[in-house]
Amino acid sequence: MMKNKLLFTLLFMSVLYCSCKQNTASITPELIEPSTNNIVSTYGPTRMVRSVKQAKNGDILIASYTGVWRYDGKVFTNITTAIKSPSFWDVLEDQKGNLWFGTKDSGIYCYNGKSFLHYTTRQGLPSNMALHLFEDKAGNIWIGAGGGTTRFNGKSFRNFTPKDGLPNGGVNTFMEDTKGNIWMGTRGDACYYDGKKFTIFKNKEGKPFYNVWGIIEDRKGNIWFGGSIIKKIKGSTLYLDGGLWRYDGSTYTKVSSRGASSIIEDKNGNIWTTGEVKPNKPNIGNDWVLARYDQQSLYDSVPIVTEIKSKYEGGKGMLCRILEARDGSIWLGSLTGVYRLDGKSLNNFQRNEDQIFTIDNKQSLITWKGSMKLSSKEKHVGYISVSKSELWMENNQLVSGNVQIDMNSMEYADKKDKNTPIHHLKSEDYFDVKRFPFASIEIAKVDSVNANTINITGYLTIKSSTREVKFPATVSFKNGVFTADAKLTINRTLWGITYRAATFYEKIADYTVSNEVEFVIKVVAKK
């Protein structure tokens, strides 16, 4: 009998030990060597910038869809060119000087200045969607991941999900108050974690705050956050009472009806926010502004507010995270790059208007070619149109730009081609055009080979994946018109297009669609 009890105890301890180890980083993270040829530019990124932070040495760190950039006051350097599938959302420098990068769909990376360590679900993350990063005072790294949040102590991950009391698995932001509580804004109700349990904070009517993206504690100990109280739900529409709120430890005060997606307190005690002017109006395109709430009137019934509109699309472009740099300048991310507030104007580090060439949509065209893997007869050739694209020139030479591709314009060269209907190529099996109507090529670097040949390094985005590509192009500049002809061949599976791919259909090769897709690109651009 005693032997049976002893055996049961040993088995129970074994199971308990294994269950406690389930979030341990037991698999060594992937090691990635840094690139010896990082992209350097005097201009800032032109794609969405989700986060801006400042490094200990004063450099500005910028998390963009095309990589993480370091700005030293003179040039922008993409420090993540070794990582082939960026879509970065956040960047963080920890207490030890390591840089952490959060991504849309490939986990997190840790960079010690010499190499990258890549962590995914294999090492313990609950999801490879890792959008928001935060370091607490104890040195733990918190990660807002798909399906929950994660705390990494340098050795193992401790995952928190709705099963643990987290009100919603989509975590938008973190903040640690002076008492050590970790406050979290989520896609659902906002909460704080005291080390033991999650507590949802609610107003005096008992209603929680919904979809909080920005939250801070000011120098007086007040909690500021941007969020909404759900007034009613009608069909699929939420009617909200949203804006900027302040919590003094006992009372929640609505400071403004303007949205507050990101919040900071500057050195002078002013509160800065980014957000929509009218966040409570459903289904309309609202103006986005950078707003400063004057310190001297913060506690007035109507505080003094200074607003600066986004330049993007007449002020309707989303503005993201804010940073006050040590020199007092204000930085923020946007849909079209990074901004710095210089006095009363926003500098987006882009080229002057006279350097921008617009692509002629009628004369520019992309030809695509695909085929079955073994059948030389079954080949398909078609066209895709170029849309809303610009090239940047210096001294009549291409230096960068963005080519947007209208996936809805896809058609066959032979209109009689019925073997593979065009709607199948537009379906979820291939390009999923309904969800992703545009693809794009971001030109990040141009190297001259001779007078008529250049090598282009850029980022090709198809569906939700962005990867680095390199290809040559033949160029000319005559009578104010720039032309370029290039050929780019890709492995479609790297962009998540795996329908009848060779990797998955090796045993039935006759039915396999070649992984390689060839694009012949012709671009004509004028000032």
Separation between Cα atoms, residue 26 and residue 122, nearest integer Å: 8
pLDDT for residue 508: 44
pLDDT for residue 515: 84
CA-atom Rg of the chain in angstroms:
26
pLDDT for residue 141: 98
Do 334 and 347 touch, CB atoms closer than 8 A?
no
Separation between Cα atoms, residue 210 and residue 204, nearest integer Å: 15
Distances (CA, A) of 408 to 273, 364, 411, 433: 37, 16, 9, 6
Quickly tell me which residue has 């012709």 as its tokens. Answer: 522
Do 388 and 402 touch, CB atoms closer than 8 A?
no
Splitting the chain (527 residues) into consecutive groups of 10 residues, what average pLDDT does each group show? 41 34 63 86 87 98 93 94 84 97 93 95 91 97 92 94 94 96 95 96 91 96 93 72 93 93 96 88 71 95 87 67 96 91 82 80 88 57 85 86 89 65 81 89 88 91 85 93 94 83 51 79 91
3-state secondary structure 455-485: EEEEEEEECCEEEEEEEEEEEEEECCEEEEE
The DSSP element (H or E) to which 442 belongs, if any, is: strand 438-450
Separation between Cα atoms, residue 190 and residue 225, nearest integer Å: 10
pLDDT for residue 236: 67
pLDDT for residue 199: 97
Q: On the CB side of 324, how many CA atoms lie within 13 Å of its CA?
A: 13
pLDDT for residue 138: 97
The DSSP element (H or E) to which 20 belongs, if any, is: helix 2-20
Separation between Cα atoms, residue 49 and residue 68, nearest integer Å: 9
pTM, whole model, 2 decimals? 0.78
pLDDT for residue 466: 81
pLDDT for residue 53: 98
Nearest residue to 367 via CA among 381, 387, 349, 377? 381
The domain spans of the chain are: 353-526
What phi and psi, each to the nearest 5 degrees, are found at residue 312? -75, 125
Give the CATH class of 353-526: mainly beta
pLDDT for residue 300: 93
